[in-house]
Structures are given as C-alpha cells and as structure tokens.
Chain A
C-alpha cells in the first residue's frame, strides 16, 4: 500500500500558485519524498524529491516539515499545462515506488 495520503482533487486558477499537500506520517529516516505527475495517457514525469531540506528546481518547490511527516509541492505560477494527476511517493527501501491515487489538479483559466 502507498505510504502517503493526498487529497483526491484540487483546483487552481491559472497564474496562481498551486500548493499540493501530502501526508507521510510513517516515513522512515532514510526515505526520500518524491513527486511525479502524470498527464493523461502519458508516463509519469519526475518533478522533484527531497529528504529533509526544502528543495527547489525549475519546475517546483518542495517544502518538507521538520518532523518529515508531511510535505507540500508548490507550483509557483500554474498554467493550463500543469493540469495532471500529482503523485507524492515515499521511496521504498529497494527503490521501487508505490503509487497511491494522487491528487488530480485542475488549472482553470
């Protein structure tokens, strides 16, 4: 079973920041938090990952709480092309990723 909990859906206005929450209260000390997204009928796209510190790249920012039990993915200026299902995944010990149901983000004009 997936080790994360995400809201099933969220809406965001185009141009605004999209903040996607994720709970992972049973995360182990050596496990990373990964975020992927899947646009309809495509393979998942890697977004970002982190262990303890907040991370930022050209796509998004990842904020991890100090106790590591939850995190938030931030898309700073959402566009219509960001409409997708976003998956928050805690890295398995053997490197396999267990996907939950994710959050369906709808960016609206």
Chain B
C-alpha cells in the first residue's frame, strides 16, 4: 500500500507554454499533498502544501501565480507551471500524507520538466 503516482513522468515544452502535472494517491486518501522541486545535485525543496478543498500554502519565494496548485479530490492534486521558462526546468516531485497520526509522507516518482 501507500502508492503515489505522477503523470507525466517527463515533459518537454516550449518557453511560454503551460504544463500540468498530476499527482495521485492510488490506495489511500490524502487531504494534504506536497509539491517539491529538485535541481541537479541538490536536495528537494518544498514548494507548497496542497490542501483538499482549500487554497495551497506556498513557501517563501515560490510564486503562487506561476505555480498553480489544485487539490480537487482526496486522491488528486495538480501543479500547473504557467508560462514556463528554461529556468523552470527541474525535477518536480509530489508527496501525499497518509494520515495515520505520524505524518508519514509517500512520494511520487517525479516529473522531469524541460523547457526549451
């Protein structure tokens, strides 16, 4: 159990276009999901906390109008990178918190975004 999927696994887009990434918890419900970004040779950096049915909470320095997060159901959160630019190229990873009282998060496999 505790499987999290992401789609797509990789995407290449032109500068100025928008890209949507989906994160699904396959065998459990998650009222809270998280979005991370990882640049080469660096650690994961938390971008935002996605709460089902309410607005996401963004970390300092993350533009909420550029990285749109929607958590429409207990098993799905989406991250849309709007007007993507080459500096947005990164590895985007989501996680879902399985609420067993210990805040255990399970991560998706990640989405590699390359903006040309």
Q: Which residues of A contact B (CB under 8 A)?
A: 32, 34, 36, 38, 41-46, 49, 51, 87, 91-92, 94-102
Contact residues in A for B95 (Cβ distance below 8 Å): 43-44, 97
Q: How far is the CB of B109 from chain A (nearest CB, A)?
A: 5
CA A34 – CA B104 in complex, angstroms? 8
* Residue of chain A at shortest CB distance from B49: A96
Contact with A along B1-31 (1 / 0, CB 8 A): 0101010000000000000000000000000
Which B residues have a C-beta under 8 Å from some C-beta of A?
Answer: 2, 4, 6, 32, 34, 36, 43-46, 49, 91, 93, 95, 97, 102-110, 112
Query: Which residue of B is nearest A44, CB measured?
Result: B107
Contact call A102/B43, Cβ cutoff below 8 A: yes
Q: How many Å from the CB of A64 to the closest CB on chain B? A: 14
- A–B Cβ pairs within 8 angstroms, 8 of them: A41-B112, A43-B6, A43-B107, A46-B106, A87-B43, A95-B32, A97-B46, A97-B105
Give the chain A neighbours of B36 by CB distance below 8 A: 99
- The chain A residue with its CB closest to the CB of B6 is A43
Residue among A42, A43, A51 facing the most chain B CB atoms (10 A cut-off): A43
**Contact pick for B93, options A32, A43, A49, CB 8 Å:** A43
Chain B residue nearest to A46 in the complex (CB)? B106
Given contacts A96-B34, A97-B46, A99-B44, contact A46 B103 (CB under 8 A): no
Please indicate the chain A residues that have their CB under 8 angstroms from the CB of B112 in the complex.
41
Closest chain B CB from A101 CB (angstroms): 5
Known interface pairs A41-B91, A46-B2, A94-B49. Does A32 touch B103 (Cβ–Cβ under 8 Å)? yes
Q: Is the CB of A95 within 8 A of B43?
A: no
Across the interface, do B34 and A46 meet the contact criterion of CB distance under 8 Å?
no
The complex places the Cα of A46 from the Cα of B113 at a distance, in Å, of 24
Bound CA span A51–B103, Å: 12
A99-B44, A101-B43, A102-B43 known; A41 vs B110 contact (CB < 8 Å)? yes
A46–B28 alpha-carbon span in the complex (Å): 16
Separation of A16 and B85 alpha carbons in the complex (Å): 46
A95-B107 contact given A43-B93, A100-B43, A101-B43, CB 8 Å threshold = no
